[in-house]
Amino acid sequence: MRDNLIITRAAELDALAVFRGFIAQTCKQLGIADDVSFQLQLACDEAATNVIQHGYEGMNPGSIMLELQPGPKKITMLLTDFGHPFEPVETEAPDVDALLNDRPTTGFGLYFIYQTMNDVSYFTDERGNHLVLTKNL
Amino acid sequence: MFRALRLKQESPKVVPEPKPLTIQEWLGDAQFPLGIRTINALPYDAKQRFYRTLVPPELLGRLGINPILWRGNGYQLELYAPEDSGKVNISLNNPEDPSDAYFVLELQDNSTNGIDLNLILLNDPFAEKFGIELDEQGTKTHWGTITRNLREEERAMRAGLAPAQVRAGMGMAREVLHQLDVFLALCARQAVSLEPLTYASAWIFERRGFAYVRGHKLMDQIHREFQPGGALRAALDGSTPFRSPEAWQTVRGRAWAIHDGILEHIGERWRDLRMIKVVGKHAAAQTFPDAKY
């Protein structure tokens, strides 16, 4: 039987390295290419950082659960937290071609995630707040 | 496609408001989530069928109680589920002293229409009872959270109990929590939340698959501060029976020291923790790796 593909850590910056290591190790075990593993780690870093910095604002921070769900032609990465829910909003994509001084300082997290993942969705239910990231293999 | 995530200003309801259902609604959608208030609105026998799933047959069998009738061998399970209430309480008490509970399970609809596990007690009827629930003036201590009976608590600790335990447990937490998962699935619910009363109970729930809505960072901090050089380790100075220098080594030892107020050394108190269990999932949180209970 496969090892548990869930890991849960406190919503602190220390968790980021643990999550990266978990993704790297799991991808290796599943025979997933290094470049995909790296993209998953990058997306996880961006998403988890957002939760750590904003999701638990004003609270005694709770958990972030990271779950990998491998499928035949894709791998799904599910990040769950129990902090304040976010609300998906439409905004213009950041202008990455702008001069450094003219670029906005925020808004790049999801941009990077969209660049590396094939599907991105977000929802809240009684199990918590879920960011679902899918990468085709 | 969304391009940004903005913090919501209000917590949304996780399922629709609980209300009595028509037969057509019952038959119509097996995925419609039921709340405690909805089940309580049913006739007694119908709600007992639902709530029967919460009590492990093994627990009843061990005490010679019929799992269908909920009575036997002098015992009687009590179901308290008023039809206008969002709370259910199932209890098994000492037939000679109804205030002496052997088993209690209480669930309640919460403010976001989720379900809270308010209370779970599993006391071995054949184990010695410790009088921690009343102080020396006979006032209720609320398991030592309001006032304390230090003499009885020390006896309980030396007998191997954790804070808030009046008797040794029945060793059936796994079975009860499994039944709770079954009940939640029956109700088309996906999670249950609770507030752990003690460090020991948080650790037990964590081991049974719960994650933290609030307090994961505090649990990590507690573990860190019990390591060599940590403030909690240094505060285990033997100044009370609950702060012995070895207490850091075990879940129970730490729990007694925390119950005794040792968290003041890191500017914290045991409060405001909240945990969640997703049906069918083990979160694999681990705030005291390789712990000895």
Confidence grade of residue A86 (pLDDT, cut at 50, 70, 90): confident
Residues of B in CB contact (< 8 Å) with A are 1-8, 11-12, 14-15, 33, 112-114, 189-191, 211-220, 272-274, 276, 278, 281-287
**What local confidence, expressed as pLDDT, does residue B20 receive?**
74
Q: Is A11 on the interface with B (CB under 8 A)?
A: yes
d(CA B172, CA B187): 23
CA distance B16 to B189: 12
B225 pLDDT above the threshold of 60: yes
Q: Which residues of A touch B1 (CB under 8 A)?
A: 90, 114, 120
pLDDT of the residue at B135: 87
- Residue B255 near residue B163 (C-beta atoms within 8 A): yes
pLDDT confidence of A91, banded at 50, 70, 90?
Answer: low
What pLDDT sits at residue A112? 81
Residue of B nearest to A62 (CA): B214
- Nearest by Cα to A112 from A96, A124, A99: A96
DSSP B292: B
Q: What is the token pair recorded at A36?
A: 């995909």
Tell me whether A112 touches chain B (CB under 8 Å). Answer: no
Cβ-based contacts of B218 with chain A (< 8 Å) = 60
A79 at the B interface (CB within 8 A)?
no
Quick check: A127 contacting B, CB < 8 Å?
yes
DSSP A52-82: IIIITTTS---EEEEEEEE-SSEEEEEEEE-
| Rounded Cα distance, B161 and B167, in Å | 7
Is there a contact between B226 and B233 (Cβ–Cβ < 8 Å)? Answer: yes
Q: Are B232 and B147 in contact (CB under 8 A)?
A: no
Write down the pLDDT at residue A104: 57
Q: What is the pLDDT of residue B18?
A: 74
Find the CB nearest B2 among A6, A12, A90: A90
Q: What are phi and psi of A80, to 5 degrees?
A: -120, 135
Whole-number pLDDT of residue A100 = 61
Contact A63, A83 (CB under 8 A): no
Q: What is the pLDDT of residue B23?
A: 67
Q: Is the pLDDT of residue A1 over 60?
A: no
CB B73 within 8 A of CB B122: no
Among A64, A54, A47, which residue's Cα sits nearest to residue A109? A47
Indicate the pLDDT class of residue A136, thresholds 50, 70 and 90: very high
pLDDT digits (tens, 9 = 90+) for B74-125: 999 999 999 999 999 999 999 999 889 999 999 999 988 899 999 999 999 9
Q: Does B3 have pLDDT greater than 80? A: no
Residues A19, A10 contacting (CB under 8 angstroms):
no
**Residue B145 to residue B119: CA distance in whole angstroms:** 15
Given CB atoms, is A63 within the 8 Å cutoff of chain B? yes
Q: Over 70: is that where the pLDDT of A70 sits?
A: yes
The CATH fold of domain A5-136: Heat Shock Protein 90 (3.30.565)
- Choose among B200, B219, B194, B226: nearest CA to B285: B219
Closest Cα in chain A to B275: A62
Q: How far apart are CA A65 and CA B212, in angstroms?
A: 10
Q: How many residues does chain B have?
A: 293
Residue with tokens 């948080």: B202
Assigned token pair, B227 = 């390591």
Grade residue A103 by pLDDT with cuts at 50, 70 and 90: low
**Which is more confidently placed, A51 or B24?**
A51
Nearest CA in chain A to B282: A6
Three-state secondary structure of A98-136? CCHHHCCCCCHHHHHHHHHCCEEEEEEECCEEEEEEEEE
Q: Which of B17, B77, B57 is nearest to B41 (CA)?
A: B17
pLDDT for B143 equals 83
pLDDT of A105:
56
Q: pLDDT tens digit string along B11-66?
A: 778 777 777 777 677 777 788 889 999 999 999 999 999 999 999 999 999 999 99
Residue whose token pair is 């799991």: A26
Measured in degrees and rounded to the nearest 5, phi and psi for residue A26 equal -65, -45
For B89, the enclosing helix (H) or strand (E) is strand B87-94
pLDDT of the residue at A113? 87
Angle of helix A34-50 relative to helix A14-30, nearest 10 degrees?
A: 150
Q: Which long-range contacts (CB under 8 A, 24 or more apart) does A90-97 make?
A: A90/B1, A90/B2, A90/B3, A90/B4, A91/B3, A91/B4, A92/B3, A93/B3
Starting at the edge strand found earlier in the chain, the sheet holding B87-94 runs B71-72, B75-80, B87-94, B97-109, B115-122, B191-194, B274-278, B211-214
Residue with the larger pLDDT of the pair B251 and B143: B251
Question: What pLDDT was estimated at residue B4?
Answer: 73
Using alpha carbons only, what angle is made at residue B47 by residues B41 and B49, rounded to the nearest 5 degrees?
A: 165
- pLDDT at residue A99, rounded to an integer: 60
pLDDT band at A111 (very low <50, low <70, confident <90, very high): confident
Please state, in angstroms and rounded to a whole number, the distance separating the CA atoms of residues A39 and A45: 10
Neighbours of B281 (CB within 10 A): 18
Chain A residues within 8 A of B2 when measuring between CB atoms: 88-90, 110, 120, 122
Give residues with Cβ within 8 angstroms of B180, minimum separation 6: B54, B105, B117, B192, B277
- pLDDT tier at B72 (50, 70, 90 boundaries)? very high
Over residues B148-191, the pLDDT tens digits come to 999 999 999 999 999 999 999 999 999 999 999 999 999 999 99
